Amino acid sequence: MRAAAEIVEGRGARFIEAPFTGSKAAAGKGELVYYIGGNEAAWREARPILEASSKEIIEIGEIGQATAIKIATNMVTAASVQATAEALALVQALGVPLGKFVEAMQVNASYSTTLAMKMPKMIQRDFEPHFSVKHMLKDVQIANQLGLSHYLDFGVTAAACDRLVEQIQWGHGDDDYSAVARKYLSQIASAGSEGAETEEADVRTTAEAIVGGVESFVGSDSTTSGQTQSRPTRAPDSDEAKEATALRRGFLTQLLRRWRQLLKRPVSSKEV
């Protein structure tokens, strides 16, 4: 950003940076929020133009600092939506209606305007773009790069970045960034998500096969002397047995999913 300012000012013009927050709908209603960095004279000249599409303008400081604020706020936004997708998956897996989670969040201190907009659409698997996967990915990648350059370990941002990359790999880069929920709520039918659902089904099928093989092996109970040692067993259709099998299957599904992600991830020259 500073390099761009130097080029513009070197030609006799004035430069301000004005990243903003707000969706397409907010822009149409004149409800964007701008973060401003730059020369005071340039800012005064540009203000009437920015006011036409905004509800608030926040002066940040020097060139570069406004962009830093924009990147930092998007780190929180991406992480919030990622955490919500995971929370929805947990609630659904435990058999609790998703609407009850929404109801609980609405009176929770963590509730935000972002969640108010995104949660219903995530549940409905409505990923019409307001801020796309590819654009959010750009910002979190910049955040990660800046963090590395300052020796900061951004674990949450890195995880959010991985899920956005996954959506790009599945061909959903133009969807809204809340599409990260697709990974976790794949059993809810939706048009246009066949690729993701097929991959999730493949992972679950593989996990079930592994669980079955492990249980078959463990069930043999052979001793080192070659003699069979009997032991009490649960009825195969008991609630306890079903719960234990479901837990093992879920754990193996997570391992297999991470393994597949590693296979897809390009290997950098530093890792060779």
- Check: CB of residue 121 under 8 Å from CB of residue 178: yes
Task: Based on the fold, state whether residues 92 and 57 are members of the same structural domain.
Answer: no
**CATH code of 84's domain:** 1.10.1040.10
- Comparing CA positions, the residue from 223, 229, 166 lying closest to residue 199 is 166
Strand partners, 37: 17, 61
Residue 187 has pLDDT above 90, yes or no: no
Closest CA to 245 of 216, 223, 222: 216
Least confident window among 34-38, 91-95, 251-255: 251-255
pLDDT at 227 over 80: no
Written as six digits, the tokens of 101 are 């989670």
Residue 6 confidence (pLDDT): 82
Do 73 and 146 lie in one domain? The reply is yes
Of 63, 96, 113, the residue that ends a domain is 63
Shared domain check, 42 and 20: yes
Pair of tokens at residue 81: 């939506």
Does residue 1 register a pLDDT over 70?
yes
Average pLDDT over residues 180-191: 68
268 part of a folded domain? no
3-17, 105-119, 212-226, 247-261 — which one is most confidently predicted on average? 105-119
CATH number at residue 18: 3.40.50.720
For residues 175 and 186, the answer to whether their CB atoms sit within 8 Å is no
Query: Does residue 37 belong to any structural domain of this protein?
Result: yes
What are φ and ψ of residue 245, in 5° steps?
-65, -40
* Distance, CA of 135 to CA of 121 (rounded, Å): 19
Q: How confident is the prediction for the chain on average, in pLDDT?
A: 79
- Check residue 28 and give its pLDDT: 84
Q: Are 101 and 91 in contact (CB under 8 A)?
A: yes
Give the domain range for residue 55.
2-63
pLDDT of amino acid 262: 55
- Looking at the fold, whether 86 and 13 belong to one and the same domain comes out as no
Do both 205 and 257 map to the same domain? yes
* Phi, psi values for residue 55, rounded to 5°: -105, -15
Average pLDDT, integer, range 117-141: 95
Average of per-residue pLDDT across 31-44? 90
Residue 224 belongs to some domain of the structure? no
**Which pLDDT belongs to residue 221?**
43
Looking at the fold, whether 149 and 176 belong to one and the same domain comes out as yes
Question: What total number of domains does the chain contain?
Answer: 3
Q: What secondary structure letter does DSSP report for 236? A: T
Determine the Cα–Cα distance for residues 116 and 53; give it in Å rounded to an integer. Answer: 22
User: Does any domain span residue 270?
Assistant: no
Residue 229 lies in a domain: no
Q: What is the pLDDT of residue 241?
A: 60
More confident residue, 177 or 251: 177
Examine residue 228 and state whether it is found in any structural domain, yes or no.
Answer: no
What distance in Å separates the CA atoms of residue 51 and residue 53, rounded to the nearest whole number? 5
Q: Are residues 41 and 83 in the same domain?
A: no
Higher model confidence: residue 25 or residue 207? 25
How many angstroms separate the CA atoms of 200 and 187, rounded?
A: 9
Among 12, 32, 63, where does a domain finish?
A: 63
257-to-31, 48, 117, 166 alpha-carbon distances in Å: 40, 51, 29, 11
Same domain, yes or no: 54 and 161: no
Residue 227 inside a domain? The answer is: no
Same domain, 200 and 130: no
Task: Please give the Cα distance from 82 to 142 (Å, whole number).
Answer: 18
Same domain as 29, residue 93 = no
Structure tokens at 234: 């649960």
Is 128 found in the same domain as 73? yes
Confirm whether 144 is domain-assigned: yes
Shared domain check, 58 and 71: no
Q: How many residues does the chain have?
A: 272
Residue 38, pLDDT above cutoff 60: yes
